[in-house]
Amino acid sequence: MIPQNFEEWKICIEKKCQIPLTVAFASQRLTIYSQRELPETQRFIKLYGEPHYLRVMEWFSRIAAGENVLEPSSNDKK
């Protein structure tokens, strides 16, 4: 099931995929997904569709701006 809102998406990424939604991760994804000519971005759009791509771009932008962010603890940096 494709997440339809920000909270569902966060649960999918952080809990199911075990990927911390940090500012750094979101910024990295935005750098790639903002380049529509990249094969990775084209694959994402083909798999999930334009509407979901636009939602994900908005959600990553929220994370990159520091909204609802889980930053790594000092223990994670060791």
What residue segments make up the domains of the chain, in order of their start? 6-69
Record the tokens describing residue 41, joined without a space.
């971005």
Record the tokens describing residue 50, joined without a space.
């334009």
Tell me what the mean pLDDT of segment 39-63 comes to: 98
H or E stretch covering 45 = helix 39-48
- 8-42 pLDDT, tens digit each: 999 999 999 999 999 999 999 999 999 999 999 99
pLDDT of res. 1: 84
Distance CA 6, CA 63 (A): 10
- 58-68 pLDDT, tens digit each: 999 999 998 86
Q: Cβ neighbours of residue 56 under 8 Å, at least 6 residues apart?
A: 9, 33, 44, 48
